[in-house]
Amino acid sequence: MKFFENNCTFEYSWRDVSIANWRKYCAWNDRCSHVIAVDTVSRRVEPSTGVLITERLITCKQSVPKWLLRFIGGTEVSYVHEISEVSRENQTVTMRSTNLTCAHILSVQETVIYSPDKDHPETKTNFSQHAQITAYGAFSRICNTIEDWSVERFDQNAKKGREGFERVLRMSREAFAELKADVSKIPEVISS
Amino acid sequence: MSASLAPECSPAKEKYDNCFIKWYSDKFLKGDSTTDDCKPLFDEYRKCLQIALKEKGLDKMLDEARRNAEERELRKEQGKH
């Protein structure tokens, strides 16, 4: 079993981050081309807590080294199941995901939490990512190699994920500013 | 917004996603989650998606993942007590 951890801070409010998070894998994000589709399978607001629970299926296409392809049966498309919870009251977004593909060989369990920064709750948002990676098999050496490869890939994707998400946040802010500028022009048009 | 795993469902998904983002930012985050404005659009998208999931055999995979997730939550809850 191996662990992966990653923490960073985004210079945007929790509100902005939580909105942009739904757009994380859109065309604005040119760094996450390994995610080819994101489907919402179910969604509900828990009546007692007001928490928004969303279940998604994420489709990825990644280049996998030949030695690993032999173990996983030759497929490069893989699926990830994600359950997320947004608590307005606690101002947290918690996303838990697991791999559906090759689950008998490798288990990857990831938890991501977005929460307001303690010192700058209005302007900054903390991102924390934690993953537990376990390879199953009779040969511990092979398991170790698979686990190491997965951790390394996690690290690469985390870096790309951050860069891509920064771009989505920036584009969202710009789009919103343009929208506001357009709205402010309306009275002029009407009065003229 | 991102595509659907079934290209034929992407138009319905896009309509739903746009509706959801609006509801999420204008209503949910402001404390109003009593109405489900996007339900008709979600139903339409879901109808399309369910067929695709079945065809690809992903519906059963999802059921199992759901059960496993519930079990994990349960174990965690029990661990706390």
Q: Which of A48, A49, A78, A53 is nearest to A63 (CA)?
A: A78
CA distance linking residue A40 with residue A52, whole number of Å: 13
Question: Does residue A190 belong to any structural domain of this protein?
Answer: no
Q: Which residues of A touch B9 (CB under 8 A)?
A: 39
Q: Which of B19, B4, B15 is nearest to B49 (CA)?
A: B4
Question: Does residue A29 belong to any structural domain of this protein?
Answer: yes
The pLDDT, as a whole number, for residue A192 is: 39
CATH of the domain at A126: 3.30.530.20
Question: Does residue A179 belong to any structural domain of this protein?
Answer: yes
CB B23 within 8 A of CB B52: no
Query: Does the ipTM surpass 0.90?
Result: yes
Q: What is the pLDDT of residues A85-105, one digit of tens each?
A: 999 999 999 999 998 887 878
Question: Does residue A191 belong to any structural domain of this protein?
Answer: no
CA distance linking residue A35 with residue A64, whole number of Å: 14
- The structural domain count of chain A equals 1
CB A108 within 8 A of CB A98: yes
Kindly report the number of other CB atoms within 10 A of residue A175's CB atom. Answer: 11
Pure H helices in B7-38: 10-26
Mutate to test the interface with B, among A17, A40, A100, A101 (most CBs of B within 10 A): A40
Q: How far is CA B23 from the centre of its chain?
A: 15
The pLDDT, as a whole number, for residue A190 is: 45
In chain B, which residues touch A (CB < 8 A)?
A: 1-5, 9, 13, 16-17, 20-21, 24-25, 28-29, 31, 33, 36, 42, 45, 49, 53, 58, 61-62, 65-66, 68-69
Is the alpha carbon torsion for A38, A42, A48, A50 positive or negative? positive
CA distance linking residue B20 with residue A44, whole number of Å: 12
For residue B53, with 0-12 CB atoms within 10 Å meaning exposed, 13-18 middle and 19 or more buried, which class applies?
buried
In chain A, which residues touch B (CB < 8 A)?
A: 15, 18-19, 22-23, 25-26, 35-41, 43, 45, 50, 52, 55, 57, 59, 79, 81, 83, 86, 88, 96, 98, 100
Mean of per-residue pLDDT scores for chain A = 84
Q: What are the sequence ranges of the domains in chain B?
A: 7-80
CA distance linking residue A44 with residue A102, whole number of Å: 29
More confident residue, B58 or A33: B58
Question: Does residue A189 belong to any structural domain of this protein?
Answer: no
Q: What is the pLDDT of residues A29-71, one digit of tens each?
A: 666 667 889 999 999 999 999 999 999 999 988 777 777 776 6
Confidence of residue A72 (pLDDT cuts 50, 70, 90): low
Domain extent for A78: 2-184
CB A76 within 8 A of CB A101: no
Confidence of residue B59 (pLDDT cuts 50, 70, 90): very high
Q: Which of B24, B44, B40 is nearest to A54 (CA)?
A: B24
DSSP of A10-59: ESS-HHHHHHHGGGTTSTT-TT-TTEEEEEEEEEEE-TTT--EEEEEEEE
